[in-house]
Amino acid sequence: MVAVKAHELRNKNKAELVKILDEQKQALANIRVQKVAGGKTQEIGEARKNVARVLTVINQTQREQLRLFYQKKAFTPLDLRVKKTRAMRRALTPFEKSKKTVRELKKLAHFPLRKYAVKA
């Protein structure tokens, strides 16, 4: 069982990756059949991880492309948005927090924090 390498997979395009995925799933199914027939079972772990690797590459590249596509758009799909926590998503933005009333601005202007130095 040859281990599939992720960095090699990333050069391929979607159609090829889907084909490779199918092949790896087929290989996994064959190993499962062999297990029943009393054959070698050590390769099962590697086969499962191969399938996982191909799926990871497929999904990662897909999402990356989608993010590029939606970069300039106003609305993005929900699963491409920042997740954080519900409360944090609804909190004030840093700009909104920084806003000050005119009264406060005047105070800051007229009474800034003074720095003093003590003569030795």
Partner 1 sequence: MHRDFSLFIAWTELFKSSVKALNAKKSALKGVHGKAVRKIRTSTHFHIPKTLVLNRAPKYARKSIAHAPRMDQYRVIRQPLNTETAMKKIEEHNTLTFLVDVKSNKNQIKDAVKRLYDVEAAQVNTLIRPDGYKKAFVRLTADVDALDVANKIGFI
Nearer to partner 1, 82 or 120 (CB): 82
Residues 18, 58 contacting (CB under 8 angstroms): yes
Nearer to partner 1, 68 or 109 (CB): 68
Nearer to partner 1, 84 or 103 (CB): 84
**Tokens 């027939």 sit at which residue?**
37
How far apart are CB 38 and partner 1 at their closest, in Å?
9
Nearer to partner 1, 56 or 62 (CB): 62
> Which residues of this protein are in contact with partner 1, per CB under 8 A?
25-26, 28-30, 32-37, 62-63, 66, 70, 73-80
How far apart are CB 100 and partner 1 at their closest, in Å?
33
How far apart are CB 117 and partner 1 at their closest, in Å?
57
**Tokens 């690797």 sit at which residue?**
53
Residue 27 Cα to chain centre, angstroms:
29
**Tokens 């927090």 sit at which residue?**
97
**Tokens 């030795």 sit at which residue?**
120
Sign, Cα dihedral of 16, 22, 25, 26: negative
